[in-house]
Structure 1
Protein backbone atom coordinates (compact mmCIF):
# COMPACT_ATOMS: atom_id res chain seq x y z
CA UNK A 1 0.00 0.00 0.00
CA UNK A 2 1.43 3.37 -1.02
CA UNK A 3 1.62 6.33 1.32
CA UNK A 4 -1.26 8.10 -0.41
CA UNK A 5 -3.38 4.94 -0.35
CA UNK A 6 -2.75 4.58 3.38
CA UNK A 7 -3.77 8.18 4.06
CA UNK A 8 -6.78 7.92 1.75
CA UNK A 9 -7.88 4.84 3.73
CA UNK A 10 -7.61 6.83 6.96
CA UNK A 11 -9.73 9.57 5.43
CA UNK A 12 -12.30 7.02 4.25
CA UNK A 13 -12.54 5.74 7.84
CA UNK A 14 -13.56 9.23 8.94
CA UNK A 15 -10.25 10.44 10.36
CA UNK A 16 -10.56 13.83 8.71
CA UNK A 17 -8.47 16.69 10.09
CA UNK A 18 -6.18 19.42 8.81
CA UNK A 19 -2.98 17.42 9.41
CA UNK A 20 -4.23 14.42 7.41
CA UNK A 21 -5.41 16.70 4.61
CA UNK A 22 -2.04 18.51 4.59
CA UNK A 23 -0.14 15.22 4.56
CA UNK A 24 -2.26 13.88 1.70
CA UNK A 25 -1.94 17.11 -0.24
CA UNK A 26 1.80 17.15 0.26
CA UNK A 27 2.12 13.49 -0.81
CA UNK A 28 0.10 14.12 -3.97
CA UNK A 29 2.18 17.24 -4.65
CA UNK A 30 5.35 15.13 -4.43
CA UNK A 31 3.82 12.80 -7.04
CA UNK A 32 2.89 15.81 -9.27
CA UNK A 33 -0.80 14.95 -8.83
CA UNK A 34 -1.67 18.63 -8.57
CA UNK A 35 -5.46 18.31 -8.81
CA UNK A 36 -5.64 15.88 -5.89
CA UNK A 37 -3.06 17.90 -3.99
CA UNK A 38 -5.10 21.08 -4.39
CA UNK A 39 -8.29 19.36 -3.26
CA UNK A 40 -6.78 18.17 0.02
CA UNK A 41 -4.79 21.32 0.73
CA UNK A 42 -7.84 23.52 0.19
CA UNK A 43 -9.64 21.39 2.75
CA UNK A 44 -6.69 21.70 5.14
CA UNK A 45 -6.82 25.50 5.07
CA UNK A 46 -10.61 25.43 5.44
CA UNK A 47 -10.21 23.33 8.56
CA UNK A 48 -7.34 25.47 9.86
CA UNK A 49 -7.10 28.86 8.13
CA UNK A 50 -3.86 29.76 9.94
CA UNK A 51 -1.95 26.69 8.66
CA UNK A 52 0.93 28.44 6.88
CA UNK A 53 2.60 25.22 5.69
CA UNK A 54 -0.63 24.17 3.96
CA UNK A 55 -0.92 27.58 2.28
CA UNK A 56 2.68 27.26 1.02
CA UNK A 57 2.14 23.85 -0.58
CA UNK A 58 -1.30 24.87 -1.87
CA UNK A 59 0.27 27.78 -3.72
CA UNK A 60 2.94 25.52 -5.17
CA UNK A 61 0.33 22.94 -6.28
CA UNK A 62 -1.79 25.64 -7.91
CA UNK A 63 1.28 26.97 -9.71
CA UNK A 64 2.21 23.45 -10.80
CA UNK A 65 -1.29 23.07 -12.19
CA UNK A 66 -0.95 26.30 -14.16
CA UNK A 67 -3.40 28.23 -11.98
CA UNK A 68 -1.06 31.18 -11.49
CA UNK A 69 -3.57 33.79 -10.28
CA UNK A 70 -4.94 31.34 -7.72
CA UNK A 71 -1.38 30.45 -6.68
CA UNK A 72 -0.62 34.14 -6.13
CA UNK A 73 -3.72 34.49 -3.98
CA UNK A 74 -2.76 31.42 -1.93
CA UNK A 75 0.77 32.75 -1.45
CA UNK A 76 -0.59 36.19 -0.47
CA UNK A 77 -2.83 34.61 2.17
CA UNK A 78 -0.10 32.22 3.29
CA UNK A 79 2.38 35.04 3.78
CA UNK A 80 -0.13 36.97 5.90
CA UNK A 81 -0.84 33.87 7.99
CA UNK A 82 2.84 33.06 8.45
CA UNK A 83 3.64 36.61 9.52
CA UNK A 84 0.69 36.68 11.93
CA UNK A 85 1.93 33.38 13.43
CA UNK A 86 5.47 34.74 13.74
CA UNK A 87 6.67 32.04 11.35
CA UNK A 88 9.35 34.13 9.64
CA UNK A 89 10.97 31.23 7.76
CA UNK A 90 7.66 30.14 6.23
CA UNK A 91 6.92 33.73 5.24
CA UNK A 92 10.31 33.98 3.50
CA UNK A 93 9.77 30.69 1.65
CA UNK A 94 6.28 31.70 0.57
CA UNK A 95 7.61 35.04 -0.67
CA UNK A 96 10.22 33.26 -2.84
CA UNK A 97 7.52 31.11 -4.48
CA UNK A 98 5.23 34.14 -4.81
CA UNK A 99 7.94 36.05 -6.71
CA UNK A 100 8.31 33.11 -9.12
CA UNK A 101 4.57 33.18 -9.81
CA UNK A 102 4.63 36.96 -10.32
CA UNK A 103 7.48 36.56 -12.81
CA UNK A 104 5.56 33.84 -14.66
CA UNK A 105 2.47 36.06 -14.78
CA UNK A 106 4.50 38.88 -16.34
CA UNK A 107 5.81 36.63 -19.13
Structure 2
Protein backbone atom coordinates (compact mmCIF):
# COMPACT_ATOMS: atom_id res chain seq x y z
CA UNK A 1 0.00 0.00 0.00
CA UNK A 2 1.57 3.27 -1.09
CA UNK A 3 1.44 6.60 0.72
CA UNK A 4 -0.78 7.89 -2.09
CA UNK A 5 -3.24 5.00 -1.62
CA UNK A 6 -3.37 5.70 2.12
CA UNK A 7 -4.05 9.40 1.53
CA UNK A 8 -6.70 8.75 -1.11
CA UNK A 9 -8.59 6.56 1.37
CA UNK A 10 -8.96 9.60 3.67
CA UNK A 11 -10.81 11.67 1.07
CA UNK A 12 -14.33 12.71 2.07
CA UNK A 13 -13.70 11.52 5.62
CA UNK A 14 -13.38 13.52 8.84
CA UNK A 15 -9.72 14.36 8.10
CA UNK A 16 -10.40 15.66 4.59
CA UNK A 17 -9.26 19.23 4.12
CA UNK A 18 -6.70 21.45 2.48
CA UNK A 19 -3.74 19.66 4.10
CA UNK A 20 -4.90 16.23 2.88
CA UNK A 21 -5.50 17.54 -0.64
CA UNK A 22 -2.04 19.17 -0.57
CA UNK A 23 -0.49 15.87 0.56
CA UNK A 24 -2.17 14.02 -2.29
CA UNK A 25 -1.02 16.70 -4.77
CA UNK A 26 2.51 16.34 -3.43
CA UNK A 27 2.44 12.56 -3.88
CA UNK A 28 1.23 12.95 -7.47
CA UNK A 29 4.04 15.48 -8.03
CA UNK A 30 6.59 12.93 -6.79
CA UNK A 31 5.14 10.51 -9.35
CA UNK A 32 5.32 13.30 -11.96
CA UNK A 33 1.59 12.97 -12.62
CA UNK A 34 1.31 16.71 -13.11
CA UNK A 35 -2.36 16.93 -14.16
CA UNK A 36 -3.42 15.07 -10.99
CA UNK A 37 -1.00 17.10 -8.88
CA UNK A 38 -2.54 20.30 -10.26
CA UNK A 39 -6.06 18.98 -9.68
CA UNK A 40 -5.45 18.26 -5.99
CA UNK A 41 -3.39 21.41 -5.40
CA UNK A 42 -6.29 23.42 -6.84
CA UNK A 43 -8.66 21.61 -4.46
CA UNK A 44 -6.33 22.48 -1.56
CA UNK A 45 -6.38 26.21 -2.33
CA UNK A 46 -10.15 26.03 -2.84
CA UNK A 47 -10.52 24.59 0.66
CA UNK A 48 -7.98 27.01 2.19
CA UNK A 49 -7.39 30.03 -0.01
CA UNK A 50 -4.37 31.35 1.96
CA UNK A 51 -2.35 28.08 1.74
CA UNK A 52 0.91 29.45 0.29
CA UNK A 53 2.61 26.07 -0.19
CA UNK A 54 -0.39 24.77 -2.12
CA UNK A 55 -0.28 27.79 -4.44
CA UNK A 56 3.42 27.14 -5.05
CA UNK A 57 2.74 23.46 -5.82
CA UNK A 58 -0.20 24.40 -8.06
CA UNK A 59 2.06 26.66 -10.12
CA UNK A 60 4.73 23.97 -10.41
CA UNK A 61 2.20 21.30 -11.39
CA UNK A 62 0.52 23.50 -13.99
CA UNK A 63 3.87 24.44 -15.50
CA UNK A 64 5.00 20.82 -15.68
CA UNK A 65 1.63 19.85 -17.16
CA UNK A 66 2.36 22.30 -19.99
CA UNK A 67 0.11 25.21 -19.02
CA UNK A 68 2.57 28.07 -18.45
CA UNK A 69 -0.14 30.76 -18.54
CA UNK A 70 -2.17 29.06 -15.79
CA UNK A 71 1.02 28.44 -13.80
CA UNK A 72 1.92 32.12 -14.02
CA UNK A 73 -1.58 33.11 -12.87
CA UNK A 74 -1.35 30.68 -9.93
CA UNK A 75 2.05 32.06 -8.94
CA UNK A 76 0.80 35.67 -9.10
CA UNK A 77 -2.19 34.85 -6.92
CA UNK A 78 0.00 32.81 -4.58
CA UNK A 79 2.50 35.67 -4.26
CA UNK A 80 -0.24 38.13 -3.29
CA UNK A 81 -1.64 35.69 -0.73
CA UNK A 82 1.78 34.80 0.71
CA UNK A 83 2.73 38.48 1.05
CA UNK A 84 -0.59 39.33 2.68
CA UNK A 85 -0.08 36.68 5.36
CA UNK A 86 3.62 37.46 5.85
CA UNK A 87 4.88 34.23 4.27
CA UNK A 88 7.91 35.98 2.79
CA UNK A 89 9.93 32.90 1.80
CA UNK A 90 7.07 31.35 -0.19
CA UNK A 91 6.45 34.69 -1.91
CA UNK A 92 10.14 34.99 -2.83
CA UNK A 93 10.23 31.48 -4.29
CA UNK A 94 7.08 32.00 -6.33
CA UNK A 95 8.45 35.33 -7.65
CA UNK A 96 11.54 33.49 -8.94
CA UNK A 97 9.39 30.84 -10.65
CA UNK A 98 7.06 33.49 -12.12
CA UNK A 99 10.01 35.49 -13.49
CA UNK A 100 11.37 32.35 -15.17
CA UNK A 101 8.05 31.80 -16.93
CA UNK A 102 7.80 35.47 -17.93
CA UNK A 103 11.36 35.37 -19.28
CA UNK A 104 10.66 32.17 -21.24
CA UNK A 105 7.47 33.70 -22.70
CA UNK A 106 9.37 36.83 -23.69
CA UNK A 107 11.98 34.97 -25.70
TM bin (shorter chain)? over 0.9
Deviation at 1:44, TM superposition (A): 0.4
Asked whether 1:73 is paired with 2:73, we answer yes
- Partners of 1:67 and 1:105 lie apart in 2 by 12
Distance 1:19 1:27 in 2: 12
The alpha carbon displacement at 1:15 in A equals 3.5
Aligned length: 107
Equivalent in the alignment of 2:99: 99
SS of aligned partner of 2:10:
helix
Deviations along 1:56-82, whole A, 9 cap, x unmatched? Answer: 000000000110000000000000010
RMSD: 1.2
Could you tell me which runs of 5 or more consecutive residues in structure 2 were left unpaired when the two chains were aligned. none
* Distance in 1, Cα, partners of 2:83 & 2:14: 32
Cα offset for 1:12? Answer: 5.5
Which TM-score applies when normalising by structure 1?
Answer: 0.94
Residue 105 of structure 2: SS of its match in structure 1?
helix
Please name the residue that 1:39 is paired with. Answer: 39
Alignment pair present for 1:62 and 2:62: yes
Q: Within 1, Cα distance between the matches of 2:90 and 2:104?
A: 21
**TM-score of the aligned structures, taking structure 2 as reference length:** 0.94
